[in-house]
């Protein structure tokens, strides 16, 4: 069934259909579309939910916002909750439990079967933003000594419960990862063939403690749909699937965008007034401190400004252009760090490139503003002063746009969080210093 069907008609058919009719009706619909339907019809929310099959309710719970997942489950009896939870994978259950307080998490764990409960407790021991924290325990692993016939029988039994069946991982008797085989290789081989004969030994895996952002970079680099997670002994612990990575990439991108703007990554466009103020005010205070620092530099040259009032007109131009140049460089470098494109091997080359970009753009913009300054004041020295100040500030801006995030990364501080404040401070303070300092040196030619 397609979503071309009017939502009102879909709602009507779900509410009035038999269990069999509803199951057939929704089997081709994405749980996100059903969730949208529920949100648009709050009055029938529970009534619609009760008509849906357990597997779909489980998917809807997984697609719901973290703070709302448990609210859906609470609408059902404990017996029904157990059935819904059984339909959820271990990583989905872990996300659910991890978002709850202690009492709520105990209630959920109590309603899980013993195997799921053990899996979730193990997954909760890993940091939530690492490979171990996002992996699922439902994966397919076969012995290298099995035949194709034995493997097919195993897959018929276990594949329906697995997170994915695109790749089947090969292990030895100690559960150590030895390689991977594809479903295509299995179905195209003779029944008597040993799995070891068709195993691809060069399998790419990730350690359980790898940061989720690095895991996402690996998926992007290799284009895999699934990747195994291993421990220090190369024993396979679980798998990560591409759908988890898409969510992580969206989460990391949103976080970086928010942090570059000095916002808490949790702030939402439809969030509360209190949350927005709490998110923004601290960084505005930090920016106030840096603005006061820049103003103090201007205060040092108050005597110069009082004698050449036009300097006050051009000061914001020098600082603003430096800020723009620094932000451009900063954006490229932070993105390069986030995607793993900036490495120890190419750091020097990238720095020199940014240096040349700053010098070149500085000379072009400096020449333009020098001409405008000369026309404005009818004074060649004034034009030279502002032109040289512009070149110096844009050069420093691109340098700081590279250096600041790199240093913060080495200090284990998120470059997206604090870089913008430091770069803006550098360009404002040095922009004013270069311009007013040069003006002071050549004051006799400007009066």
pLDDT at 139: 84
pLDDT at 87: 87
State whether 119 and 167 are in the same domain: no
pLDDT over 90, % of the chain: 26
Tell me which of 367 and 72 has the higher pLDDT.
367
* Alpha-carbon gap, residue 362 to 370, rounded angstroms: 11
State whether 367 and 319 are in the same domain: yes
* Alpha-carbon gap, residue 266 to 423, rounded angstroms: 24
Q: Which two tokens stand for residue 227?
A: 């990747």
pLDDT at 274: 76
In this structure, are residues 238 and 277 in contact, taking their beta carbons and an 8 Å threshold?
Answer: no
pLDDT in tens, 277-321: 776 777 778 778 888 888 898 999 989 998 998 899 899 999 999
Average pLDDT over residues 214-243: 88
State whether 307 and 343 are in the same domain: yes
CATH of the domain at 421: 1.10.357.20
Q: Which residue shows structure tokens 């799921």?
A: 116
Average pLDDT over residues 114-130: 89
Q: Is 253 inside a domain boundary? A: no
Q: Is 348 inside a domain boundary? A: yes
Average pLDDT over residues 154-163: 75
State whether 197 and 330 are in the same domain: no
CATH of the domain at 194: 3.10.580.10
Over the chain, what is the mean pLDDT? 85
pLDDT in tens, 30-61: 888 888 888 888 888 888 888 888 888 888 88
State whether 399 and 306 are in the same domain: yes
| Beta bridge mates, 206 | 229
Question: Which of 263, 258, 290, 282 is CA-nearest to residue 427?
Answer: 290
pLDDT at 402: 93
Q: Binning pLDDT at 50, 70 and 90, where does residue 3 land? A: very low
pLDDT in tens, 133-152: 989 888 888 888 899 999 88
Q: 12 exposed, middle or buried (CB, 10 Å; 0-12, 13-18, 19+)?
A: exposed
Q: Which domain holds residue 212?
A: 141-241
pLDDT in tens, 237-286: 989 988 888 877 777 666 666 665 555 555 566 667 777 777 677 777 87
Q: Is 288 inside a domain boundary? A: yes
State whether 299 and 411 are in the same domain: yes
| Beta bridge mates, 141 | 169
Average pLDDT over residues 212-220: 86
In this structure, are residues 402 and 354 in contact, taking their beta carbons and an 8 Å threshold?
Answer: yes
To which H or E segment does residue 349 belong?
Answer: helix 347-377
Q: Is 180 inside a domain boundary? A: yes
Q: Binning pLDDT at 50, 70 and 90, where does residue 1 land? A: very low
* Alpha-carbon gap, residue 76 to 304, rounded angstroms: 75
How many distinct structural domains can be found in the chain?
3
State whether 189 and 216 are in the same domain: yes
Average pLDDT over residues 191-195: 90
Q: Is 254 inside a domain boundary? A: no
The phi and psi torsions of 35 (rounded to 5 degrees) equal -65, -40
Q: Which of 103, 128, 153 is the last residue of a domain?
A: 128
State whether 285 and 422 are in the same domain: yes
Q: Which of 217, 241, 265 is the last residue of a domain?
A: 241
Q: Is 52 inside a domain boundary? A: yes
> Which segments of 222-280 are extended strands (E)?
226-230, 236-241
Average pLDDT over residues 353-375: 94
State whether 176 and 58 are in the same domain: no
pLDDT at 71: 86
Specify the range with the lowest mean pLDDT, choosing from 128-132, 233-237, 335-339, 443-447: 335-339
Q: Is the pLDDT of residue 211 over 70?
A: yes
Q: Is 440 inside a domain boundary? A: yes
pLDDT at 207: 95
Question: Which of 167, 170, 136 is CA-nearest to residue 150?
Answer: 170
In this structure, are residues 112 and 191 in contact, taking their beta carbons and an 8 Å threshold?
Answer: no
State whether 403 and 277 are in the same domain: yes
Could you please report the per-residue DSSP string of 273-295?
A: HHHHHHHHHHHHHHHHHHHHHHH
Could you please report the per-residue DSSP string of 214-231?
A: HHHHHHHHH--SEEEEE-
Task: Quote the DSSP letter at residue 44.
Answer: G
CATH of the domain at 65: 1.25.60.10
Tell me which of 227 and 417 has the higher pLDDT.
227
Average pLDDT over residues 88-104: 85
Q: What is the dihedral of CA 398, 403, 409, 413, to 10 degrees?
A: -80
Q: Is the pLDDT of residue 366 over 90?
A: yes
CA dihedral sign of residues 436, 441, 442, 443:
positive
State whether 109 and 165 are in the same domain: no
Q: Which of 128, 153, 179 is the last residue of a domain?
A: 128
pLDDT at 329: 92
State whether 370 and 422 are in the same domain: yes
Q: Is the pLDDT of residue 68 over 60?
A: yes
């Amino acid at each position: 069934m397609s979503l071309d069907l009017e939502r009102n008609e879909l709602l009507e058919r779900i509410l009035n259909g038999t269990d069999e009719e509803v199951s057939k009706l929704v089997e081709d619909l994405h749980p996100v579309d059903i969730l949208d339907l529920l949100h648009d019809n709050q009055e029938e929310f529970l009534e619609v939910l009760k008509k849906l099959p357990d597997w779909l309710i489980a998917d809807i719970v997984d697609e719901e916002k973290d703070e709302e997942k448990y609210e859906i489950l609470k609408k059902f009896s404990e017996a029904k909750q157990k059935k819904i939870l059984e339909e959820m994978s271990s990583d989905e259950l872990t996300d659910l439990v991890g978002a709850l307080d202690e009492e709520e998490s105990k209630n959920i764990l109590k309603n899980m079967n013993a195997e799921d409960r053990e899996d979730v407790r193990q997954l909760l021991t890993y940091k939530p933003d690492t490979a171990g924290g996002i992996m699922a325990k439902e994966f397919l692993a076969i012995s290298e000594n099995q035949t194709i016939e034995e493997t097919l029988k195993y897959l018929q039994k276990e594949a329906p419960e697995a997170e994915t069946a695109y790749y089947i991982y090969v292990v030895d008797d100690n559960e150590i990862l030895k390689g991977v085989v594809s479903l295509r290789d299995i179905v195209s081989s003779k029944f008597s063939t040993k799995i070891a004969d068709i195993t691809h030994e060069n399998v790419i895996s990730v350690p359980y403690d790898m940061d989720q952002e690095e895991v996402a970079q690996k998926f992007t680099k290799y284009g895999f749909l699934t990747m195994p997670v291993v421990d220090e002994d190369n024993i396979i612990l679980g798998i990560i699937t591409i759908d988890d990575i898409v969510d992580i990439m969206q989460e990391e991108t949103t976080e970086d965008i928010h942090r570059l703007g000095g916002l808490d990554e949790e702030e939402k466009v439809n969030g509360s007034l209190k949350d927005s103020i709490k998110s923004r005010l601290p960084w505005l205070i930090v920016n106030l401190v840096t603005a006061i620092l820049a103003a103090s530099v201007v205060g040092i040259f108050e005597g110069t400004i009082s004698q050449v009032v036009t300097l006050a007109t051009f000061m914001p131009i020098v600082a603003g252009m430096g800020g723009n140049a620094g932000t451009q460089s900063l954006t490229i470098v932070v993105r390069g760090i986030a995607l793993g494109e900036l490495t120890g091997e190419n750091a020097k080359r990238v720095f020199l490139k940014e240096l040349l970009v700053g010098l070149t753009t500085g000379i072009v913009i400096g020449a333009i503003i020098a001409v405008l300054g000369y026309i404005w004041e009818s004074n060649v020295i004034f034009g030279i002063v502002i032109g040289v100040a512009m070149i110096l500030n844009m050069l420093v801006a691109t340098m700081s746009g590279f250096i600041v995030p790199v240093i913060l990364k080495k200090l284990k501080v998120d470059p997206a969080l604090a870089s913008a404040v430091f770069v803006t401070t550098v360009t404002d303070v040095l922009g004013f210093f270069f311009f007013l300092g040069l003006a002071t040196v050549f004051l006799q030619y400007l009066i």
